[in-house]
DNA sequence: CCGCTAATTCAACGTTTGTAGAATTAGGCC
DNA sequence: GGCCTAATTCTACAAACGTTGAATTAGCGG
């Protein structure tokens, strides 16, 4: 008999989310190493020990804060629902939209930052990409589809890095639509299998 | 009168290079934050204080170790010497060759890792890309050439990240020629689509 | 041999970090 | 009100870090 309802209610709703929000902001802005538990706790207006009470360790906090907010299965389905043509543009648009969303910006930035500096985070992202992302799109393509899908993905990751982390000009300030119009055909080339030129 | 020739000769040739080599290895493998001066000194078989005697600080050591080993002016000229057609394939090949070279692998990996986690390193790389790399190639292209050049560069950076840092399969194990054959046309799309300007 | 200079080492300081454990507070059920 | 439980805070530790300044060693010219 688990009298789970005894005592004070667990999982206070507000503070836990406040900690996660502060963690996403800190990890996204400073990366895993430079973000400190003390700073995150201060932003969330709680004691540092409370952070570890909830998440066990700094790694645990990171994993909880950086859990991917999207379902790749669904993501891929939406991109490819209307057929293979135009998929490049739709993919570029949908991917960049993730980074433009203020609520998600810190999260995705933190994931990328951590994947670069932290081996366990890299392993996690690697497994996610190999198992979920590439698998979701491989069914729609042919022979060397997995390689092609990863090449398209690598372009998107590099694009996000240059625009949102490095902030190199003129890429960082270019309007979204202009980028989508240029990147879309390049991605389409990987899907269609044909060498692709610029926009006609 | 500077009697510079008095006393013991400065700049002992061997140890300084040993420190730089160890630093490149450490920074490339672990990133700026996780690499420690003590570890670098131990690998170079010197005292940690000697490292700072030579380079002043950890940042100074990093700057010295990560100074870019290539001249982008010359790099771009070699890619575009034989004309615009085939430039995509040549660029993909030349860029990936940098990462395959064992002597340079740690260095370029460290530069990318640091640009992600360290703001000053990001600023340095950003200035380098905006001023040198993009400038070197912009003369060969027309109107929106800078944006197109950066998009092509972002693809290459993302490719290096996925293959050499994240090591996502099947990309990490794919033969170089196969990747070049697929990526080349994607890059070519950015070059050929632009209004042609010719070198100025 | 002596003195200058720089390479090189030794030992230590002060800070920051993640983390652990005890102590306290507060909410819900009997 | 009393008890149970979990949220929350307080205090502190132990390790690792970058950095410093003094001390020592070694090469070279006079």
Mean pLDDT in residue range A100-107: 87
The domain segmentation of chain B, as residue ranges, is: 13-66, 72-192
Mean pLDDT in residue range B163-182: 92
Give the span between the Cα atoms of A99 and A101, in whole angstroms: 5
Q: Give the CA count within 13 Å in the CB-facing half-sphere of B15.
A: 15
pLDDT of residue A18: 92
For the CA of B50 and the C1' of C12, the distance in angstroms is 16
Least confident of A6-15, A80-89, B81-90: A6-15
pLDDT digits (tens, 9 = 90+) for A15-40: 899 999 999 999 888 888 899 999 99
Q: Is B123 on the interface with A (CB under 8 A)?
A: no
Specify the CATH number for B72-192; select among 3.40.50.300, 1.10.357.10, 3.30.450.20, 3.30.460.20: 1.10.357.10
Rounded to the nearest angstrom, the minimum Cα separation between A28 and chain B is 10
- A13-65 has which CATH code? 1.10.10.60
pLDDT beyond 80 at B130: no
Contact B161 A163 (CB under 8 A): no
Q: Which nucleotide's C1' atom has the smallest distance to the CA of B7?
A: C5
Residues 11-40 of B with CB under 7 A from strand D: 35-39
3-state secondary structure chain A: CCCCCCCCCCCCHHHHHHHHHHHHHHHHHHHHHHCCHHHHHHHCCCCHHHHHHHHCCHHHHHHHHCCCCCCHHHHHHHHHCCCCCCHHHHHHHHHHHHHHCHHHHHHHHHHHHHHHHCHHHHHHHHHHHHHHHHHHHHCCCCCCHHHHHHHHHHHHHHHHHHHHHCCCCCCCCCCHHHHHHHHHHHHHHHHHCCCCCCCC
Q: Strand C: which nucleotides have any atom within 7 A of a protein Cβ? A: 3-12, 16-22, 26-29
Rounded to the nearest angstrom, the minimum Cα separation between B18 and chain A is 24
Q: Strand D: which nucleotides have any atom within 7 A of a protein Cβ? A: 4-12, 16-22, 26-29
For residue B122, give both structure tokens: 């990001």
pLDDT beyond 50 at B49: yes
**The domain at B13-66 falls in which architecture?**
Orthogonal Bundle (1.10)
Which residue of A59, A132, A182 to mutate against B (max B Cβ within 10 Å)? A182
pLDDT beyond 60 at B194: no
Q: Angle at CA A180, nearest 5°, toward B96 and A86?
A: 100
């Amino acid at each position: 008999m688990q009298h789970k309802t005894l005592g004070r209610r667990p999982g206070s709703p507000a503070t836990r989310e406040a900690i996660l929000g502060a963690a996403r902001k800190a990890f996204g802005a400073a990366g895993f190493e430079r973000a400190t538990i003390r700073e995150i706790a201060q932003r969330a207006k709680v004691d540092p020990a409370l952070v570890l009470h909830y998440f066990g360790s700094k790694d645990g906090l990171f994993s909880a804060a950086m859990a991917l907010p999207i379902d790749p299965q669904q993501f891929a389905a939406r991109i490819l629902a209307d057929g293979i043509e135009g998929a490049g543009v739709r993919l570029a648009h949908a991917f960049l939209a993730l980074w433009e969303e203020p609520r998600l910006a810190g999260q995705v930035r933190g994931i990328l930052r951590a994947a670069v500096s932290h081996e366990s985070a890299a392993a996690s992202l690697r497994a996610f990409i190999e198992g979920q992302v590439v698998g979701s799109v491989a069914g729609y393509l042919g022979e060397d589809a997995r390689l092609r899908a990863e090449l398209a993905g690598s372009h998107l990751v590099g694009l996000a890095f240059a625009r949102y982390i490095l902030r190199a000009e003129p890429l960082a300030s270019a309007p979204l639509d202009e980028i989508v119009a240029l990147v879309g055909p390049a991605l389409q080339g990987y899907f269609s299998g044909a060498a692709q030129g610029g926009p006609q």
